[in-house]
Amino acid sequence: MRTDAGTGARRPREISYAQAVREALREELRRDPRVFLMGEDVGIYGGTFGVSAGLIEELGPDRILDTPISEAVLAGAAAGAALTGTRPIVEIPFSDFLSLALDQIGNQAAKMRYMFGGAVRVPLVVRSPAGSGTGAGAQHSQSQEAVFCHFPGLKVVVPSTPYDAKGLLKTAVRDDNPVVFLEQKLLYKETGPVPEEEYLVPFGKADVKRPGSDLTIVAWGRMVGMCLAAAERLESEGVSVEVLDPRTLVPLDTRAIVSSVAKTGRLLIVHEAVRTGGFGGEIAALVADSEAFPLLKAPIRRVAGFDIPVPYSPNLERNAVPTPERIEDAVRDLLVQGEKRPAGRTGSVRS
């Protein structure tokens, strides 16, 4: 906690998303000698985005391992280490290259506990920066969370705030199953309140970031902040938007999603990943197959990345994924279809 100089009131400290991840790593490495971090440039260089800076000086090269540039070897070695009783954390510097380790993660680590009848544990965390916005081009800017949701046995985590990033990562390290932990790159500099005392954020428990009554937005990762900003602007038009962050896509808090949609009667799903095959389609199907479906006042809508490689050009890159304008227009369109017109608005606006 910190003390406000003007009022003397105690307020929580604020740190960045990157600092929150680093704190989680440090605390778990100190807490459990079986935990170690391995990856490309995680040691001396401090991580591609500086997240692990200072850890090798503090904990030594036996706990912070710099590795060759081979994602397949990294993931395979970590899965084997997890089977022998250690608890590895692997950093892959860009999530795009998780495809090079897909056999080891999705076909080996994800299935071992099931295939051995629960006799083994695979406490493996694969951390990876994901998403667009850094001008890194088509091969370094994708959002591929839906790929990993398709492998039974994997848990998939996409935190949107520093608080969630720290609490969810600590939970991931203590889990006895493989976890894919995706950190969207543009969030690393975002700040927010993070307690100094120990805490965990449970898997499978969604968080309502903003309550509302007219429409539900389900979003994760970087899109949560964008949706919250859109909801705040729409409030001036008399629109009450509920923003729900699943935090973990596997396990998914289906009850929270269905309950929110049943309350508001409208659903907008927002994700940075391309629309086709994106996890938003799974959420739409979930609601369509639930008791919330008869209560819908308008069709379910998705705002997602366009089905194109992420462009290198900054302006094109910015518009290849959801924008505040597309989100707000989609909300207005859903309200018009549901016969609740925003103040001063007429007609339908297509996203």
Residues 158 and 74 in one domain: yes
Residues 188 and 211 in one domain: no
- Only one residue has tokens 């309350």, namely 263
pLDDT tens, 246-285? 999 999 999 999 999 999 999 999 999 999 999 999 999 9
From 171, 193, 215, the end of a domain falls on 193
Rounded mean pLDDT of the chain?
93
Write down the H helix ranges in the chain.
17-31, 55-59, 71-83, 102, 110-115, 145-149, 162-174, 222-235, 254-264, 279-288, 314-320, 324-337
Residue 161 is part of which domain span?
2-193
pTM of the complete model: 0.92
Q: Which residues are catalytic?
A: 140
State the CATH number of the domain containing residue 46: 3.40.50.970
Give me the pLDDT at residue 347, please.
41
Question: Parallel, antiparallel, or unpaired: how do β-strands 35-39 and 64-66 relate?
Answer: parallel
Residues 284 and 162 in one domain: no
Residues 109 and 164 in one domain: yes
Q: Is residue 144 part of a domain?
A: yes
Q: Is residue 345 part of a domain?
A: no
Pull the structure tokens for residue 291: 């008791």
State the CATH number of the domain containing residue 311: 3.40.50.920
Name the nearest CA neighbour of 18 among 70, 60, 55. Answer: 55
Residues 189 and 234 in one domain: no
Give me the pLDDT at residue 12, please.
82
Residues 165 and 43 in one domain: yes
Residues 99 and 248 in one domain: no
Residues 187 and 236 in one domain: no
pLDDT tens, 174-224? 999 999 999 999 999 999 999 999 999 999 999 999 999 999 999 999 999
Q: Which residues of the chain have pLDDT under 70?
A: 1-9, 338, 340-351
Give me the pLDDT at residue 348, please.
39
Burial of 10 (0-12, 13-18, 19+ CB in 10 A): exposed
Residues 47 and 173 in one domain: yes
From 142, 166, 193, the end of a domain falls on 193
Domain count, the chain: 2
Q: Is residue 347 part of a domain?
A: no
Q: What is the dihedral of CA 190, 188, 244, 91, to 10 degrees?
A: -170
Q: Is residue 342 part of a domain?
A: no
Residues 169 and 236 in one domain: no
Q: Is residue 348 part of a domain?
A: no
From 193, 226, 253, the end of a domain falls on 193
What strands, in cross-sheet order, belong to the sheet with 248-250? 64-66, 35-39, 87-91, 125-130, 179-184, 155-157, 248-250
Give me the pLDDT at residue 2, please.
58
Give me the pLDDT at residue 227, please.
98
Cα-Cα end-to-end distance for the chain: 43
Residues 305 and 228 in one domain: yes
Give me the pLDDT at residue 37, please.
98
Give me the pLDDT at residue 337, please.
81
Q: Is residue 344 part of a domain?
A: no
Residues 229 and 185 in one domain: no
Q: Is residue 200 part of a domain?
A: no
Q: Is residue 350 part of a domain?
A: no
